[in-house]
Amino acid sequence: MVEETFKYAATPASSKVATAAWEAIQTCREVYNHALTQEYRPRPKGSKPSYTSMQNKLPAWKEKWPEWSDVYSKTLQMAVRRIKQSESVLESLKEKGYEVGQLQWKSPEEYRSIVYNQSGFDVDRNTDRTEHATVDFSKIGIFHLKYHRPLPEDGEISQIILKKTKTGDWTVNIVVDYEPEYPEPPAIEEIDAENTVGIDLGITSFIHDSTGRSFKSLDEQTDRERIERRHRNLSRKEYGSNNWEKARQKLAQAYKRLRNRRKDYREKLAHEYTTHYDAVFLEDLNVKSMIEGDRNSRNIAAMSWRKTIYAFKRHGEKNGCHVIEVPPAGTTKRCSQCGTETAKPLWVRKHSCPACGFVANRDYNSALEIKRLGLEKIGIRDSSVDIGQGMAESTSPELGEFWCANESPRDSLTPAETALPGEAPSISPKRVVETGSPTLKEQTAAAVSE
């Protein structure tokens, strides 16, 4: 059983519903603030009131403030429970070494959602319109959902969170418990090296893989300009005024748009790779981020790498693909073909091995090395040759120079080495060419790295 949150953009059925929703949220805020400042905070640490005991005071509070009864009663309980969540957020910040004070009273700006737990909602996903569903919230009314992703058929909805975001849009998060039907990933020992791929997460380009494909980083120029423009616009407005608020929302929207684009890109790549391969090898970025890039670009890159790896893992689980991390140390230095290490500064974009003559794009060489390490880690023998799978025969005249660059000892790879142990060395002509001729390898490597 897994718990998954399905997020939808939502629109209130009428302005009356919108008002009711916002008022309900604000009532929850009042309850939260009241419970926090009058019940929870005054008591010393170690003898804090329980949530149940605070919830039990709700009927009395409702008598005192009758308007609180306009809100679905269980959502008020959830508002009291929210103190606990805030407390654990505070705790985790403290653990990370932040200096934190006590829990603070929340302003309308900071309190924007209402939680319906177990009951008080009615979801209709069989409306006549496509990609459309509705949620009827008790004591608020109906919200239309942009139902782009169906909820699991036999899932059970445990919670629905209605939120008004800082951009002024409404979202509905539906939390569902269900039994996912993910395909089983293939048994490790049955994986064919050909169905695996090594991926280098780069700084200059987003991704390089061991088949020679590369994906550029997202072009963010337009988004950045938009954000800058809106920052300037906001700074010209009188703080707190209506126009300031509008400008702030516009700015928040611009940021959100960039975030969404980045996310979309990561998700698409993660989906593509995990649906096409049995195993994907990536670098363990906690280590990688320590060794590459200057401090500033390192932090930014590390953040995006982390999200990318997370996306790969998530999609890997869904698509029956192993996502395996390998230690990155040396992947940029080491030659994927012979193992010789050559130090090179980051700006040197070409890998050129002094020992075996293998020439390739730096990141492509890394991706090959990552694949080699990955296969080693799971104990799969790569009986094929990484480079030039199905490409060795193709020629590319404009890359002629690499034909000449080769001075490598041809006897370093003998056909016999490619035979499996205990097998007579019967080698297909193709394999002999691939393993025995570094020239061909280089040439293909260069061809695909362009």
Closer residue to Zn ion, CB minimum distance, 251 or 445: 445
Q: Answer whether 225's CB lies under 8 Å from 359's CB.
A: no
Residue type, 421: P
Q: How far is the CB of 337 from Zn ion (least distance, A)?
A: 5
Q: Binder to Zn ion among 338, 405, 427, 433 (CB under 5 A)? A: 338
Verify binding: residue 405, Zn ion, rule CB under 5 A.
no
Q: How many residues appear in the chain? A: 450
Per-residue binding string, Zn ion, 153-192, x by CB under 5 A, is ----------------------------------------
Verify binding: residue 355, Zn ion, rule CB under 5 A.
yes
Q: Which helix (H) or strand (E) holds 290?
A: helix 285-291
Verify binding: residue 335, Zn ion, rule CB under 5 A.
yes
DSSP, collapsed to helix, strand or coil, labels residue 17 as helix
Q: How far is the CB of 356 from Zn ion (least distance, A)?
A: 3
Verify binding: residue 364, Zn ion, rule CB under 5 A.
no
Strands (E), 316-412: 322-326, 350-352, 359-361
Verify binding: residue 331, Zn ion, rule CB under 5 A.
no
Q: How far is the CB of 365 from Zn ion (least distance, A)?
A: 9
H-type alpha helices, 56-155: 58-64, 73-95
Distance CA(445)–CA(205), nearest Å, equals 17
Q: Binder to Zn ion among 137, 147, 206, 358 (CB under 5 A)? A: 358
Distance CA(302)–CA(293), nearest Å, equals 10
Verify binding: residue 274, Zn ion, rule CB under 5 A.
no
Distance CA(237)–CA(244), nearest Å, equals 5
Number of residues that bind Zn ion (CB under 5 A): 8
Q: How far is the CB of 441 from Zn ion (least distance, A)?
A: 10
Q: How far is the CB of 377 from Zn ion (least distance, A)?
A: 21
Verify binding: residue 356, Zn ion, rule CB under 5 A.
yes
Distance CA(203)–CA(40), nearest Å, equals 48
Q: Binder to Zn ion among 353, 367, 385, 448 (CB under 5 A)? A: 353
Only one of the segments 141-149, 239-247, 291-299, 328-336 lies at the binding site for Zn ion (rule: CB under 5 A); that segment is 328-336
DSSP 361: E
Verify binding: residue 360, Zn ion, rule CB under 5 A.
no
Q: How far is the CB of 335 from Zn ion (least distance, A)?
A: 3
Q: Answer whether 83's CB lies under 8 Å from 55's CB.
A: no
Verify binding: residue 196, Zn ion, rule CB under 5 A.
no
Verify binding: residue 387, Zn ion, rule CB under 5 A.
no
Distance CA(241)–CA(245), nearest Å, equals 6
Strands 156-164 vs 141-146: parallel, antiparallel or unpaired? unpaired
Binding residues (CB under 5 A) for Zn ion: these are 335, 337-338, 340, 353, 355-356, 358
